[in-house]
Amino acid sequence: MTNEFSGYIARRLCRIAALEHESHKINYDLRVPPCSSTKSTPSLHPKTHPSWVYLFPIVVLLLSNIAVSAPVETDKRTVRITEDMPFVVVNHRGIPIMVERIQDTENRMVDDFSKTSRPCPPFCIHPMEAAPGVRSVGELELLDFLNNEVEAERGLLIDARLSNWYESETIPGAVNIPFVVFTKASKKREHILELLGAERELSGGYRFSRARTLCLFCNGPWCDQSPRAIRSLIEVGYPPDKLLYYRGGMQSWKLLGLTTVLPVSNAVEGKQQPFAKGLGLNVYQRK
C-alpha cells in the first residue's frame, strides 16, 4: 500500500473516527499515519530521528531484491518461511517491515495465545469457511496478498478486532476496522464502504465492481470478530469473491513465529528491528 493511498484513507477516516470516538468511544481508523498529532506516528522527522533511519527502508528493499535474485543458500537463517523464502518485506504504516520467523528453535509461546482452551460459548471453534463463496487463506497466501493486491492498491488487510486488540499487537501491513463498524447501518459504515471502493447507486444500494479485495482476520479459529465482519459485509452486498478469511488469525501467525508489530508500551524481551524503536513501533517476533 503506497504512502499516497495510506494518507488518503487516513485523512478521510480520521474525520469519521473522531466523530465516532466522541459518540461511542469506538476507534476504527485504518491506523495509517494519524491526521493531526505526530506524537505516535512512525514518521521520519529530521528533528526526531537520526539520519541513518532514512536509509533503512532503502536497505531493506535492496535486501529483498537480492533475496529474490540470489541463491537461497546465501541466506544464513536456519528457520525460513519456506525453503526458498527466508523473509518477506511488507509495508506497515508507510514503513517497510521484514517479516521472518523466530530463529530460536527452542522458543515457546508464553502469552495468552498459548492457551489451548477457552469457554465455549462464546469462544467456539469456527468452520473453515466464514461464508459461502469466501475463500479461506493461510499464511503464505496472506503474504502474497500483501505483496501483490495490497501493494498495488487493489486490496486491504483488515484486522477486524476491537482497537484495543489491534493496539496490543497485529500483523504487519494490517489496518484496523473493528467488526462492529460493519454490523450496524450508519453513516460511518457508508463512509467506510465508499473508502473501500463501493459506489452508491440511486436505488440506495452499492455497486462493488471497483471495490478492493479484503482479507480479514482476528484472534484465531475460536474468535468470531472477523467472521461477523465478513457476514455483515456480504449482507450489504460486498461480493464474497472479493473477501478472504485468514482463519488462523493472530494465534496461528504467532505459533509459526512470524514477525508482529506492537506499540513500544507493550514491548517484551525479543528481537527488534533496529529502526523501529525511534519510530514508536516494536517490530519483532514476540514470544
Say if CB 22 and CB 240 are below 8 A apart.
no
Query: pLDDT at position 117, please?
Result: 93
Query: pLDDT at position 191, please?
Result: 94
Residue among 263, 167, 256, 177 at smallest CA distance from 217: 177
Return d(Cα 235, Cα 261) in angstroms, integer: 32
Evaluate if residue 280 carries a pLDDT over 50.
no
Which parts of the chain fold into alpha helices (H)? 3-24, 52-69, 139-145, 163-168, 180-183, 187-195, 225-235, 249-255
Cell of 98: 521484514
- Mean pLDDT of all residues belonging to the chain: 77
Least-confidence region, from 23-32, 41-50, 90-99, 169-178:
41-50
Band (pLDDT 50/70/90 cuts) for residue 283 is low
Tell me, what amino acid is at 37?
Answer: S
Give residues with Cβ within 8 angstroms of 162, minimum separation 6: 178, 179, 180, 225
Tell me the whole-structure pTM to 2 decimals.
Answer: 0.72
Residue with cell 537480492: 66
Least-confidence region, from 22-26, 44-48, 277-281:
44-48
Q: What is the pLDDT of residues 207-250, one digit of tens each?
A: 999 999 999 999 999 999 999 999 999 999 999 999 999 999 99
Better-predicted residue by pLDDT, 240 or 284:
240
Mean pLDDT of 24-28: 38
Q: Which domains does the chain have, with CATH numbers?
A: 3-284 (3.40.250.10)
Share of the chain above pLDDT 90, in %: 57
Q: How many CB atoms lie within 10 A of CB 55?
A: 11
